[in-house]
Amino acid sequence: MNSHTENDPCCGGQSRRSFLKRSTATAAILAAPPVLVRAAEKKLDEQGAEYFEKLPLKIEVNGKPFSLSVEPRVTLLDLLREQLHLTGTKKGCDYGQCGACTVHVDGQRVLSCLSLAGMQDGKKITTIEGLASGDDLHPLQEAFIRHDGFQCGYCTPGQIMSAVACIKEGHAGSDAEIREYMSGNICRCGAYPNIVDAIREVAQKGGVK
């Protein structure tokens, strides 16, 4: 939770920026850009910080290049959802505990809520929106429909992105192996048996693009 009482041990009520302000006034004064020092003195530190705190970022998402400028604290998940409006990737926890936000970064499955956007410079990202080619669904997307591998559908993009990787990694040799290597993706609707059916079928056909 975000609330802090007066005796909260974690932050002591001191903000990152008030720390910046204090440090500009003392030892760090020589290292800090003069404009920032002046800004801090005029209590414009927050706005000044805003200017300096954006990172340039070049990434490719689903084959499309993007040239962006992001705050360092923006996660890949929020970048996708809030700035690029690719909302197929879901937020189920924001703490790396549920798998709903699974995407591929350079072909590897990754939890986008635990990945800072700024660290993806030069990387190729694939999201659920980039899996089908036009109207041709990926074999796993088709298998999920056929086996009813979902109910509400909220965990589904993460399940499918994970499943594609699970097969590619060679971790779909048996039901037990599929279950083990898919255990990072929670489905609260409980579609697990059907998801395993879908993955097994595609894995056995060797059908991953």
Partner 1 sequence: MDNFFDLNIPFAEIDRVDGKAKVTGKADYVAEHDLPNLTYGVLVGSTIANGTVTAIDTKSAERAPGVLAVITHLNAPKVPGYEEGENPAKGRTGGGGLKIFNDNRIRFNGQPIALVVADTFERATYAASLIKAQYNKEAPHTSLADAIKNDKPIEGDNYKEAVRGEKDAWKTAPVKVEGTYIMPIQVHNPMELHATIARWDGDDKVTVWEKTQGVVSTQQSIANAFKLEQKNVQVYAPYVGGGFGSALRTWPHAIAAVMAAKKLGRPVKLVLTRPQMFMLVGYRPEAIQHISIGATPDGKIVGMRHDAYAVTSNYENFNEGLVAQTKQLYACANLATKYNIYPMNLSTPTWMRGPGEATGSFPLECALDELSYALNLDPIELRKRNYAETDPENGKPYSSKFLREAYDLGAEKFGWKGRKPQPRSMEEDGWLVGYGMSSGMFGAFRGEGRVRLKFSGDGMLTIQSAVSDSGPGTATAMTRIASDAMGLPVNKVNFELGNSAFPPGPTQGGSSTTSTLGTTVSMACDSLKKKLVELLKTQESEIALADVQFAQGEMRLKNGKSISYTDALKAANLPSIELTESSGRNPEMQKYSAYSYSVHFVRVKVHPLTGVVRIDKVVSAGDAGRIISEKTAASQMKGGAVGGIGGALMEEGVIDHRYGRWVNNNFADYHVPVHADVPDVEVVFVNKPDPVLNPNGSKGMGEIALIGFAAAVANAVYHATGKRIRELPITPDKVLL
Residue 189 binding ligand FES, by CB under 6 A:
yes
> Which residues inside 72-91 make contact with ligand FES, applying CB under 6 A?
91
Residue 198 binding ligand FES, by CB under 6 A:
no
Under DSSP, the state recorded for 205 is T
Question: Which x/- pattern, by CB under 6 A, does the window 122-161 give for ligand FES?
Answer: ----------------------------xxxxxxx-----
Instruction: Quote the least distance from Cβ 49 to partner 1, whole Å.
Output: 7
- Closest to partner 1 by CB, 36 vs 131, is 131
Q: What angle (nearest 5°) sits at the alpha carbon of residue 67, between those of residues 62 and 68? A: 105
Ramachandran angles phi, psi of 195, nearest 5° = -65, -45
* DSSP secondary structure, 35-74, as one string: HHHHHHHTT-HHHHHHHHT-EEEEEEETTEEEEEEE-TT-
Return d(Cα 115, Cα 139) in angstroms, integer. Answer: 28
Residue 188 binding ligand FES, by CB under 6 A:
yes
| Identity of the residue numbered 5 | T
| 102-105 and 64-70 beta bridge pairing | unpaired
Residue 170 binding partner 1, by CB under 8 A:
no
Return d(Cα 152, Cα 16) in angstroms, integer. Answer: 40
Question: Which x/- pattern, by CB under 8 A, does the window 50-89 give for partner 1?
Answer: x--------------------x-xx---x--xx--xxxxx
Chain CA centroid to CA 8, Å: 29
CA nearest to 117, candidates 79, 167, 162, 62: 79
Instruction: Quote the least distance from Cβ 209 to ligand FES, whole Å.
Output: 24
Return the residue of 111, 160, 163, 166 that touches ligand FES, per CB under 6 A. Answer: 111
Return the residue of 105, 111, 125, 128 that touches partner 1, per CB under 8 A. Answer: 128
Decide: 89 and 112 in contact? Cβ < 8 Å. Answer: yes
* Binds 111: which of ligand FES, partner 1, none (CB < 5-8 Å by kind): ligand FES
* Binds 126: which of partner 1, ligand FES, none (CB < 5-8 Å by kind): none
Interface residues toward ligand FES, by CB under 6 A? 91-94, 96-101, 111, 113, 150-156, 187-189, 191
